[in-house]
Structure 1
Amino acid sequence: MREAVIVGAARTPIARENGALKDVPPEELAAVVMKEAVARSGLEKPELIDEVIFGHCLGAVGCLGRMALLKAGLPMEIPAITIDRQCGSGSTALNLAAAHIWAGVGDIYLVGGAESMTRQPYLLEKPLSFQRTPPRWISPRPLSPQEIGDPPMGITAENVAERFNVSREEQDEFAYLSQMKAARAIREGRFKEQIVPLTIPQKKGEPVVFEVDEHPRPNTTVEVLAKLPPVFKKGGTVTAGNSSGINDGAGALLITSREKAEELGLKPLAVVRAFGSAGVDPNIMGMGPVPATRKALARAGLTIEQMDVIELNEAFASQAIACCRELGIDWRDQEKLNPNGGAIALGHPIAATLAILVIKAVYELHRRSGRYALITACCGGGQGVATIIERC
């Protein structure tokens, strides 16, 4: 079987809601990282790209992938598709490209994800001709049928905490560790290579260069986290402190067949070894990584113990801990699990997150000379995705 290799990768810093990127549309964020991923790969003829596959969930433009590639100045002959698998969109784009390469459909794909949760549009229910009541805003968007259950994401996290016996103390400890790991990574400059600095014009004064993830709270403590009230359920255990944030950001990767990389003189960074996706009960959607990871490991012929880096998206501390228990991962292992912090600290720009996690995993494998990395996440509506890569 042909090999699919990552030859270029870049991401934006992750911004808070209404933060540094509040005035930047997601298609512009996507355009920046697309252009940079291609440049970093060394690909001199972007017209050789077979297709752009990009994740995006909350936008106001049609087919963000196409809009962004045109904004990036890439050849208009390149086709594009935009996909929505909620939190798993970014890595699903990568997985689809890898499958295309394995099957011989194409050789070069530009993939990733972008999201501006700050700028997500409102949806208004279309009124019927006989309707007398005012139309209502649709927010959040339905992700599963009401008869099955379509609870808010925070309630799914409460459901997981109850069903899998994850305590408030454990959730707060997990959140604290995420913040400390992110603070260490930023302090040591671990993200500098992967981030594209953005110059943001200001209404007054000089433009501001945005180059550091702004969501982390490095000064938090377990005691501070313990004082936060539950936000989704009276008497619950899920708080703003042990949940992921509402964020803006983008990430992109260039992936090619190994043969094409050698032909063009491109340096592979990592090989996509396997991926898996799975469905779970939407009421406990946070458990999606468990069956997805098991599928990916089985397809790769590997075990969880062989993973040097595990990027398990921290939608909520409760589901991350529960998934770790089910998969045999020590969630307190600060060197293997989310070694540079996760979404609780760094943020979770929905469709961009998994592209960003893949990028983080690639760079971390090279930093520590590791071999394998697992990137996995739950997805709203009750799904899970997982990807296994190997350092080149």
Structure 2
Amino acid sequence: MKKVAILGGKRIPFVKSFKEYNHISNQELLAPCLDALIRQFNLEGKRIGEVALGGLLNRPTDWNFSRECVLGTSLDPHTPAYSLQRACGTSLDATIQLGLRIAAGQVDTAISGGSDTNSDIPLLFQRQLAWKLSDLKHAKTFGQRLKILTSIRFKDLSPVYPSIVEPRTGMSMGQHTEKMVKEWGISREAQDELAYYSHINAAKAYEEGFFNDLVVPFKGVTKDTIIRADTSLAKLASLKPAFDHSGSGTLTAGNSTLYTDGAAVLFMASEEFAQQQNWPVKAYLVDGETAAVDYVAGEGLLMAPTYAVARMLKRQHLQLKDFDFYEIHEAFSGQVLCTLKAWEDADYCRKLGWDKPLGSIDRSRLNVKGGSVAIGHPFAATGARIVAQAAKLLEEKGSGRVLISICTAGGMGVTAILEK
């Protein structure tokens, strides 16, 4: 098996939805990321082994999404591409899948990534209207067409807006997380504190120039717009609960991710090929794992990464403490804290196949350059953003190991290990 080298990543600034990137499509968001990556590695006219891109909020016309993105670049048109979707873990899953192909020697190079926008949302017709319009197209006589047209009712004309709720429960991710934090006894104060450090760490990273070679300006935006360098625990504490208004809610707009528009891509190659091209290696993708929970039966919707990490650590003969950095996606501050607390619980870890707790982590190593609460969370772009950020951390340190963990809708989790 060949070593899988992470060579670099590019993304546009992440922005709050319905603002700077309003009415811009997923393909348009990905274009500057891909173009910047192509320029950095002199890939113009070159054929890449495989490209895998994804998005959650795609239009039906984007059925060949990844391939169309490639054809919109200066890459050799012979570059193959496929689309995939695993909710918030989409681009991390793409990275793992392509890493396996590189490791097996099937391809030498690959690009993974993702894009999402709530500001170019694909509205749908009511099913009854869609059926009637389809029948109208195939009607052969004026009488048939007239009959169909007169059957259309006003209620048929109301659009169907995509809703980020679990179809099996009808509950939003935030409502599910409210259940989780109550089950695990996570306080509002602890959630606000984690959110506070997410913003402070991200703001400091910008001040230090950490994101200079990772973030590509787009539409006049040069940096993530959700980060609040001036936030404080007092300001966070003043916000009202966003999902549970019963008086016991603890999730707010301050300790949860906001609807975000953005895109990110990642470039990988076999170590051997990277050396031939004199491309510096930032880090190596060592392993990846996915898992799912039965949230309909009562398991926490966003707890699947606890299973995935447990399996991955056992396979790699590692302990939870054996990492220099922890990049845990902050869908909600409460979700991160539930995960950390579960790994400290002996009874819970027995369900994960361990005879003892996985243990605690050094919190000073958690999301040290900011997490999703501060940076933002364009669903399918987050994985590529995190991997590129983690790889740069290892490049700067010169050695070490990063644990990456992403929870997803549908009760799934995607995790990975990077090393240098």
Give the TM-score normalised by structure 2.
0.84
Q: Hey, what does 2:304 align to over in structure 1?
A: 288
Please report the RMSD computed on the Cα atoms of aligned residues, expressed in angstroms. Answer: 2.1
Please, which of 292, 295, 306 is the counterpart of residue 279 of structure 1? Answer: 292
Matched, 1:308 2:324: yes
Report SS of the residue matched to 1:35: helix
1:219 matched to 2:239: no
Structure 2 counterparts to residues 1-392 of structure 1, below 5 A: 1-43=1-43, 46-47=46-47, 49-60=48-59, 61-127=62-128, 134=156, 137-140=160-163, 143-144=166-167, 146=168, 149-198=169-218, 200=219, 208=220, 210-234=221-245, 235=247, 236-282=249-295, 284-328=300-344, 333-334=363-364, 336-391=365-420
Give the Cα separation in 2 of the matches to 1:190 and 1:164. 35
**1:247–1:347 Cα contact (<8 Å) kept:** yes
Shift of 1:23: 4.3
Q: CA offset at residue 330 of structure 1?
A: 5.3
Task: Give the corresponding residue for 1:203.
Answer: none
- SS of residue matched to 1:388: strand
Contact 2:67 2:80 in 1 (8 A): yes
Q: Which segments of 5 or more consecutive residues in structure 1 lack a partner in the other structure?
A: 201-207
CA distance 1:94–1:225, change in 2 (3 Å): same
Question: What secondary structure does 1:54 align onto?
Answer: strand
Q: Are the equivalent residues in 1 in contact too, given 2:43–2:75 (CA < 8 A)?
A: no
Deviations 1:291-318 (A, max 9, x none): 1112222333322212111110000011
**Cα distance in structure 2, aligned partners of 1:175 and 1:331:** 17
Query: TM-score if structure 1 supplies the norm length?
Result: 0.90
C-alpha deviation, 1:62, in angstroms = 2.6
Tell me the amino acid that sits aligned with residue 111 of structure 1.
S
| Paired AA for residue 267 in structure 2 | L
The Cα shift of 1:96 comes to 0.4
Q: Distance in 1 between matches of 2:12 and 2:36?
A: 10
Any idea what SS the aligned residue of 1:185 has? helix
After TM superposition, the structure 1 stretch with the greater mean CA deviation from structure 2, 338-347 or 218-227, is: 218-227
Q: Which amino acid aligns with 2:54?
A: G
Percent same amino acid among aligned pairs?
31
Provide, for residues 190-212 of structure 1, a one-character-per-residue CA deviation record: whole Å limited to 9, x for no partner. Answer: 111211222x2xxxxxxx3x221
Aligned partners of 2:166 and 2:173 also within 8 Å: no
**Aligned partner letter, 1:86:** A
Distance 1:354 1:173, change over 3 A: same
Contact 1:125-1:138 within 8 A present in 2 as well: no
Partner residue in 2 for 1:204 = none
Following superposition, the deviation at residue 142 of structure 1 comes to 5.7
**TM-aligned CA distance change 1:80 to 1:42, over 3 Å:** same
In 2, the alpha carbon distance for the partners of 1:301 and 1:124 equals 52
Q: Equivalents in 1 of 2:333, 2:109: separation in Å?
A: 37
Deviation at 1:332, TM superposition (A): 7.4
Deviation (angstroms), 1:339: 0.3
Cα deviation, 1:155-206, whole Å, max 9, x if unaligned, reads 11101111111111111111112111112112222111211222x2xxxxxx
Instruction: For residue 179 of structure 2, give the secondary structure of its aligned residue in structure 1.
Output: helix
| Paired residue type of 1:323 | T
Kept in 1: contact 2:191–2:255 (CA 8 A): yes
Unaligned runs of 5+ in 2: 133-150, 345-358
Deviations 1:45-88 (A, max 9, x none): 621x1211012111222332112111222222212111111100
Q: Secondary structure at the match of 2:341?
A: helix
Q: Which stretch shows the higher mean deviation, 337-346 or 69-78? A: 69-78
Is the Cα–Cα contact under 8 Å of residues 282 and 380 in structure 1 kept in the other structure?
no
How many corresponding residue pairs? 377
Please list the CA deviations of residues 5-26 of structure 1 after superposition, one character each: whole Å capped at 9, or x if unmatched: 1123211111111233224322
State the structure with more CA Rg.
2
Give the Cα separation in 2 of the matches to 1:308 and 1:41.
28
Following TM superposition, by how much is the alpha carbon of 1:376 offset from its aligned partner in structure 2, in angstroms?
1.1
User: Once the 2 structures are TM-superposed, how far is the Cα of residue 107 of structure 1 from its aligned partner?
Assistant: 1.9
| Residue aligned with 1:166, SS | coil
Structure 1 residue 343, shift from structure 2 partner: 0.9
Letter in 2 for 1:185: A
Q: Which residue of 1 aligns with 2:148?
A: none
Contact 2:257 2:376 in 1 (8 A): yes
Query: Structure 1: which amino acid aligns with 2:332?
Result: F
Distance (Å, rounded) in 2 between the aligned partners of 1:317 and 1:343: 9
